[in-house]
Chain A
Amino acid sequence: MEYGLLLAGTLFALGLIGVLVRRDIVFILMSLEIMLNATGLAFVTAGARWAQADGQVMYFFILSMAAAEVAVGLALVLRLRRQFKTLDADAASRMHG
């Protein structure tokens, strides 16, 4: 069971590295998906350890949150592309309020 949590930690760290290293905003969104997935894996692993349904319930909530997040995030990617003609996340570092 600890191996499941170890795997979840590894995947989360890899996603965090991706968020920190990559500057293409599509890759940043993919790395966020990896991190959310690793969190869900940790919840399901813990739920399987105690044979409780709560882990999978929390995974369900994480899944719906990821779906909503990725819909809005990809719409923002399209807007960024149209407005700045690039996918570099640093291009949108200033807010023109």
Chain B
Amino acid sequence: MNAVFYIAAAVAVISTVMVITRLNAIHALLYLIISLLAVAVIFFTLGAAFAAALEVITYAGAIMVLFVFVIMLLNLGPQATAQESQWLSPKSWIGPAILALVLVGELVFIIARGELRAPAAGPVEPRQVGVALYGPYLLGVELASMLLLAGMVGAYHLGREWGMENSRQGDGATGRQGEERLNI
């Protein structure tokens, strides 16, 4: 189990270094997803299965998809097709693919050995986490829901203005003042 931890940690550090040194945003995003998956494997070896599942579903799934959407929106232009053909070349995805294969190998190794126990103090079951969340931390859960609501309303507000500005560009109206748009 220790070897699995060390290999996953190495994969996480390598892919994170690649994230902050890439020039292309999509390449960096591929490495960032690998980094998050490696941290999920580390959670699994620590006996935190609930955190590992959340990491894969929410971080590597939902949040990274948001990044991909925004980067694709930003790249709308005549050079988009040229970039598309460049992204499909093997040298842009071979690095993340190799690191992902390492993680898959670790996962197969863990499942094949049937050893799901944490090395130190025993796993923390999802049941314990749920009881703690809706017991002593109930107020925190409510606050998190309020935070998510505020984030959703804020993102909707900013994104809606962006769309309206696009449709108004035809008549040359460049209302830069926020107050104007708030009155619409």
Contact = CB atoms under 8 A, between A and B. Distances in A.
Interface of A: 1, 3-4, 7, 10-11, 14-15, 17-18, 21-22, 24, 26-27, 29-31, 33-34, 37, 40-41, 44-45, 47-57, 59-61, 63-72, 74-79, 81-83, 87, 96
Contacts, number: 178
Nearest to B121: A51
A87 B70 CA distance: 12
B151 A72 contact: yes
Interface in B133-162: 133, 137, 140, 144, 147-148, 150-152, 154-155, 157-159, 161-162
* Chief secondary structure at chain A's binding surface: helix
B154 to A, nearest CB: 5
A68 B54 contact: no
* Chief secondary structure at chain B's binding surface: helix
Contact of B32 (A7, A30, A53, A61): A30
A75 to B, nearest CB: 4
With a 10 A CB-CB cut-off, give which of B16, B120, B132 has the most chain A CB atoms: B16
A54 B132 CA distance: 7
Given A33-B63, A64-B148, A56 B140 contact: no
Nearest to B122: A51
A39 B137 CA distance: 19
With a 10 A CB-CB cut-off, give which of A37, A50, A56 has the most chain B CB atoms: A56
12 contacts: A10-B13, A11-B16, A14-B17, A44-B48, A44-B51, A52-B124, A56-B51, A59-B54, A60-B133, A65-B144, A72-B151, A78-B70
Given A61-B140, A87-B74, A7 B13 contact: yes
A41 B132 contact: no
A34 B67 contact: no
B40 to A, nearest CB: 10
B151 to A, nearest CB: 3
B50 A37 contact: no
Contact of B13 (A11, A47, A51, A96): A11
Q: Which 9 residue pairs spanning A and B have beta carbons closest together?
A: A68-B151, A75-B158, A18-B20, A51-B121, A48-B46, A71-B155, A53-B132, A53-B128, A64-B144
Nearest to A14: B16
Given A34-B16, A50-B121, A72-B151, 11 more contacts: A7-B42, A26-B25, A30-B67, A40-B51, A49-B121, A56-B51, A61-B144, A74-B155, A75-B154, A76-B158, A87-B74
